[in-house]
């Protein structure tokens, strides 16, 4: 753990003593401390001795003022953080042209990126060595969660996901918006795909929000799309039997790949650990793995499920792929990243005869829940949560939440930040024109919030990486960007 994290952890342990009747102040205090520590983090590299001395003196002063805290006796360690190094990515797109003008929009091929969506690790507090505890399998109130709850200011999950209203409304699409996604680690760049055969890239800052470019070229409904890890490219799929790779800054189409079975393509994804590969699924249930640079398929990179494919999702390491089909089943495939080969592993029936319209993966739901999970939408009026049980994608049912979904391709999302609170949240669209937030660990009344504002079924929802903005889209082509409620306090 670096010195900034140690200082913040020290403050978190004593934070309960500050303004005991004003938890909002405690939350604001730690957020501001965290911001200042990150801004000054570079000083640690220049002269860490000063920071170490500061940490020692502050620890002594806090202990003298408040006494030794319970958690000061806990040893600190890091959990293993596994970030995929995309070693082949820098050379994988040599054949795809980049417009020189893109540099003026802020694109840089050497810009570092971060995968915040898969919370693979963070610092945590462990019990003394003489007391052995097995890792918690659910979100449970253990001593390990004490510092996290203090940093959250003891607010509830519902209070945390309160919204202050609409930030902006986009209506550039003439028909239903089928999917929306914020760019990776970009708070203000949002892409949308539509049934009007176009995609659009929107900028939420500077104000007023605007449409940066419209991606034109598909001839029928755009069913799905995906950002590359560096946000340099967008991959889209359409019922016109093609996939296209776009430059999201200029709007130019860089490559067109046609389905070998002349069938509408319903889902697509970049390989998360090697963006020189992408995967498509079509209406006949056929999966294909393609080389991004050449547009050619890989030998052995073909799979088949029993009916048309509706959605797909990768595990964060890129070694497991889940496919949802029209008959209510989820199939897991093992993926060989080096060769592009795939082979079918397991099948689970979610709801016989009802399409699985969305699959989302998270390695950790919260700092206390380390079970990898799948979030699944199915056309039987429910949102399902599954635990991933093994390395080949086996699933076990964990929870179900009631929503209105009978015919539409509704999608859902995990909240991207690991929760400091007891509980963990997911968000989903619904055919009753509302956006729902569910606490996945609450058995009674799991709905913690509900946003009303759309005038037609809500098809998709997505967060930006720091959860300051939530976007939702509907069947009339409207995209609403919601702003999280932030209370201001004078310090």
pLDDT band at 57 (very low <50, low <70, confident <90, very high): confident
Task: Compute the average pLDDT of residues 101-106.
Answer: 47
Looking at 1.20.1640.10, 2.60.290.11, 2.130.10.10, 3.30.930.10, the CATH number of the domain 164-484 comes to: 2.130.10.10
Segment holding 237, helix H or strand E = strand 234-238
pLDDT digit string (tens) for 295-310? 999 999 999 999 999 9
Helices (H) and strands (E) in the chain, counts: 7, 30
Comparing CA positions, the residue from 192, 193, 189 lying closest to residue 209 is 189
pLDDT for residue 211 is more than 80: yes
Task: Compute the average pLDDT of residues 44-65.
Answer: 76
CB count in 10 Å sphere of residue 205 = 10
pLDDT for residue 142 is more than 60: no
Residue tagged 């994290």 (tokens): 5
Residue of higher predicted confidence among 384 and 65: 384
pLDDT for residue 152 is more than 90: no
pLDDT for residue 112 is more than 90: no
Least confident of 41-45, 126-130, 353-357, 402-406: 126-130
User: SS3 of 21, please?
Assistant: coil
pLDDT band at 135 (very low <50, low <70, confident <90, very high): very low
Cβ–Cβ under 8 Å, residues 372 and 361? yes
Task: Compute the average pLDDT of residues 120-137.
Answer: 39
pLDDT for residue 129 is more than 50: no
Q: How far is CA 163 from CA 57, 363, 451, in A?
A: 40, 26, 8
Task: Compute the average pLDDT of residues 159-184.
Answer: 91
**Largest Cα–Cα distance in the chain?**
74
pLDDT band at 69 (very low <50, low <70, confident <90, very high): low
Task: Compute the average pLDDT of residues 149-163.
Answer: 62
pLDDT for residue 136 is more than 50: no
- pLDDT at residue number 405: 97
pLDDT for residue 488 is more than 60: no
pLDDT for residue 77 is more than 60: no
Bond preceding residue 332 cis, omega within 30 of 0: no
The DSSP line for 75-137 is: EEEEPP------TTHHHHTTTS---GGGGGGT--TT------SS----EEEE--TTS--PPPS
pLDDT digit string (tens) for 448-480? 999 999 999 999 999 999 889 999 999 999 999
pLDDT for residue 243 is more than 60: yes
Residue of higher predicted confidence among 397 and 38: 397
| Percentage of the chain exceeding pLDDT 90 | 57
- pLDDT at residue number 87: 41
Comparing CA positions, the residue from 335, 326, 221, 334 lying closest to residue 278 is 335
Task: Compute the average pLDDT of residues 105-109.
Answer: 45
* Per-domain residue ranges of the chain: 1-38, 164-484
Residue of higher predicted confidence among 143 and 255: 255
- CA 332/CA 396 separation, integer angstroms: 13
Backbone torsions φ then ψ of 192, nearest 5 degrees: -135, 145
- pLDDT at residue number 62: 81
Segment holding 59, helix H or strand E = helix 48-66
Comparing CA positions, the residue from 337, 377, 335 lying closest to residue 357 is 377
- pLDDT at residue number 423: 66
Up-side HSE of residue 161: CA atoms within 13 Å toward CB? Answer: 26
The 8-class DSSP code of residue 26 comes to: H
The DSSP bridge pattern shows strands 382-388 and 395-402 to be antiparallel
pLDDT for residue 75 is more than 50: no
CA geometry: angle at 378 spanning 375 and 384, to 5°? 35
Comparing CA positions, the residue from 126, 129, 130 lying closest to residue 143 is 126
- pLDDT at residue number 2: 65
- pLDDT at residue number 43: 55
Task: Compute the average pLDDT of residues 331-339.
Answer: 95
pLDDT for residue 22 is more than 80: no
Task: Compute the average pLDDT of residues 78-107.
Answer: 45
- Tokens for 405, please give them: 């979904």
Print burial letters for 338-356: b (CB count within 10 Å at least 16), e (below 16): eebbbebbbebebbeebbb
């Amino acid at each position: 753990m670096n010195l900034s994290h140690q200082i913040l952890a020290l403050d978190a342990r004593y934070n309960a003593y500050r303004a005991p009747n004003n938890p909002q102040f405690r939350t604001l205090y730690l957020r501001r401390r965290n911001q200042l520590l990150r801004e000054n983090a570079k000083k640690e590299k220049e002269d860490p001795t000063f920071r170490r001395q500061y940490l020692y003196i502050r620890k002594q002063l806090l202990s003298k003022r408040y006494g030794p805290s319970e958690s000061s006796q806990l040893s600190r360690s890091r959990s293993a953080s596994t970030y995929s190094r995309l070693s082949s990515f820098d050379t994988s797109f040599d054949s795809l042209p980049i417009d020189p003008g893109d540099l003026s929009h802020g694109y840089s091929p050497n810009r570092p990126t971060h995968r915040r969506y898969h919370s693979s690790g963070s610092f945590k507090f462990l019990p003394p060595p003489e007391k052995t505890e097995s890792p918690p399998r659910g979100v449970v109130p253990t001593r390990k969660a004490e510092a996290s709850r203090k940093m959250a200011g003891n607010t509830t999950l519902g209070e945390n996901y309160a919204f202050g209203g609409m930030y902006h409304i986009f209506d550039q699409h003439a028909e239903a918006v089928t999917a929306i996604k914020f760019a990776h680690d970009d708070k203000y760049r949002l892409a949308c795909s539509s049934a009007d055969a176009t995609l659009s890239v929107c900028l939420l800052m500077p104000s007023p929000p605007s449409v940066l470019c419209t991606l034109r070229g598909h001839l029928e409904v755009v069913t799905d799309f995906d950002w590359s890890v560096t946000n340099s490219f967008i991959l889209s799929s359409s019922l016109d039997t093609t996939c296209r790779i776009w430059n999201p800054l200029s709007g130019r189409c860089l490559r067109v790949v046609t389905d070998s079975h002349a069938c509408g393509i319903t889902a697509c994804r970049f390989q998360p650990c090697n963006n020189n590969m992408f995967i498509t699924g079509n209406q006949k249930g056929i999966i294909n793995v393609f080389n991004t640079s050449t547009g050619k398929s890989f030998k052995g990179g073909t799979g088949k499920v029993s009916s048309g494919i509706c959605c797909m999702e990768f595990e964060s390491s890129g070694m497991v792929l889940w496919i949802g089909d029209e008959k209510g089943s989820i199939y897991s495939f093992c993926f060989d990243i080096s060769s592009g080969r795939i082979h079918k592993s397991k099948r689970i029936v979610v709801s016989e005869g009802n399409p699985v319209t969305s699959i989302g993966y998270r390695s950790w739901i919260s700092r206390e829940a380390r079970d990898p999970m799948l979030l699944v939408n199915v056309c039987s009026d429910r949102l399902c949560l599954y635990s991933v049980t093994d390395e080949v994608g086996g699933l076990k049912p964990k929870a179900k939440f009631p929503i209105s979904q009978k015919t539409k391709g509704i999608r859902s999302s995990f909240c991207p930040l690991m929760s400091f609170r007891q509980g963990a949240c997911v968000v989903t669209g619904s055919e009753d024109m509302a956006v729902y937030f569910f606490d996945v660990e609450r058995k009674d009344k799991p709905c913690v919030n509900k946003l009303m504002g759309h005038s037609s079924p809500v098809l998709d929802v997505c967060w930006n990486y720091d959860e300051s903005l939530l976007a939702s889209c509907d069947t009339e082509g409207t995209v609403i960007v919601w702003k999280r409620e932030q209370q201001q306090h004078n310090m």
